[in-house]
Homo-oligomer: A and B are copies of this chain.
Amino acid sequence: MNAIADKDFLRHWDELSQFGAVPGTHGVDRQAGTAADGEQRKWFESLLTEHGFRVERDAIGNQYGLLELVPGAPYVLTGSHLDSQPTAGRFDGAYGVLASAHACLRAAAELGESGEAKYNLAVVNWFNEEGSRFKPSMMGSSVFTGKLPLETALNTADRSGVTVYEALGKLHELGDFTMPEVASYAEIHVQQGRSMEADGVTIGLVNATWGAHKLEVRVTGDQAHSGAAEMADRRDALLGAARLITAARDLVDDFAPGDLHTACGEINVYPNSPVVVASEVTLLIDLRSPHTEVLDAAFASLEKTIAEVSERDRLEIEIIGEHRWEQNPYPENGIALAREAAAELGLTHDRVMTVAGHDSTNMKDVAPTVMLFVPSVSGISHNLREYTSDKDMLAGLAHLAGVVTKLAKDGLDRE
């Protein structure tokens, strides 16, 4: 088997980047289960089939390409996700999926005929990592790892009432495949931050996920005429939500620079009519930090603001959903294996934390896992202008191929 070349990767990358391309930009819009997602899946299936993979899909639409080197042996699984946020970059997730397919081919070429392989190889395109159309994010890997019931995922509807089951069914992307035993998992992704670029590091050895406290908040007021109602009579839910959004941002300044990230990305307002004071607003507030004590203090401060706003603006404010996790490490033996692969290739590398969640965050709870980063220019992400150079993409591919080869040859113990 001949190794697949860098130029093949770049050609495939250009092809992949056409799906859901946003005219006049270098970005894409291919949310999970949309037509553009369906088209890229069919393209990816053809690519895999042409290169000798057996293509399968499971009941939540995760798409697999399998290369059997050792009949009956467990698999080294590697992948990421092809779906994107609305009007987003072409690298986020997609780079990892395509690099994984090429890494498998390279590892197979190296190991296939030597008899050195201990495990089989598979690439995966996880369904709906982004969670923009169907919540929650990381849906495919959450179902795979047993964290989210399949039925719940399939019945999840988008804003227009279309369910995951309907969207995937329409694309003929529902299957009944069950992935065989996974010996280990590897994923490569763009950093979505700018520390690696600033530090001149090509390969990020991801050693932990930041802690986070994610809140869904419901603010309840009372509908009123937004002109005629006396100000003192109003119970304006959108006003209360606005106060929480600004308070969440201003919280950041209470801590050392870089210790706390906060955001509200989504808000839903009822009735959202020009002349009506809103009666109900739900919003998502994220607090993220590597430090437990920072998350604790930030959350306590936000709770205090909630109580103040509730009293001052005569609103009912409830936290109706909450998800908290602490800084969460990746296995040290995986980092050591990845460091060795980077050193062999002469690539600069360093330990780096991820603020964003990835499918590997799920996978590391069920299999020995290696998580890798390549740099994002200026840290721009979830943006049409997201960019990673060809040079960095190819370095990452070479590195991932080295990691996958080691995983397939030597394996990785459960820590």
Contacts and interface: CB of A to CB of B under 8 A. Distances in A.
B384 A288 contact: no
Interface of A: 85-88, 130-132, 135, 137, 191-194, 210, 212, 222-233, 236, 238-239, 241-243, 245-246, 249, 252, 257-258, 260-279, 284, 286, 288, 354-357, 378-384
Given A239-B246, A265-B278, A379-B233, A273 B227 contact: no
Given A193-B229, A286-B227, A85 B379 contact: no
B272 A225 contact: no
24 contacts: A85-B276, A87-B279, A88-B276, A130-B273, A131-B273, A132-B273, A132-B276, A135-B274, A192-B229, A193-B228, A194-B233, A223-B384, A225-B355, A226-B286, A227-B356, A227-B357, A228-B379, A229-B261, A233-B379, A239-B246, A241-B242, A242-B246, A265-B274, A268-B272
A369 to B, nearest CB: 19
Nearest to A265: B226
B236 A249 contact: yes
Contact of A273 (B85, B242, B269): B85
The 3 residue pairs across chains A and B that have the minimum distance between CB atoms: A226-B263, A242-B245, A242-B242
A317 to B, nearest CB: 15
A261 B231 CA distance: 6
A269 B266 contact: yes
Nearest to A234: B263
Nearest to A284: B274
Contacts of A132: 271, 273-276
A275 B229 contact: no
A378 B225 CA distance: 12
Contacts of A266: 269, 272-274
A265 B277 contact: yes
A267 B238 contact: yes
A267 B267 CA distance: 9
B225 A382 contact: yes
Contacts of A130: 273, 275
Nearest to A258: B230
Contact of A271 (B86, B243, B270, B288): B86
Among the interface residues A241, A242, A246, which one has the most CB atoms of the partner chain B within 10 A?
A242
A48 to B, nearest CB: 29
A269 B241 CA distance: 14
Contact of A228 (B230, B233, B355): B355
Given A86-B271, A225-B355, A265-B276, 9 more contacts: A85-B275, A131-B273, A131-B274, A228-B356, A229-B261, A233-B379, A239-B245, A265-B275, A276-B382
A270 to B, nearest CB: 8
Contacts of A191: 228
A86 B271 CA distance: 6
A381 B228 contact: yes
A362 to B, nearest CB: 16
A246 B242 CA distance: 6
Contacts of A286: 226-227, 274-275
Contacts of A258: 230
A194 B381 CA distance: 51
A408 B243 CA distance: 54
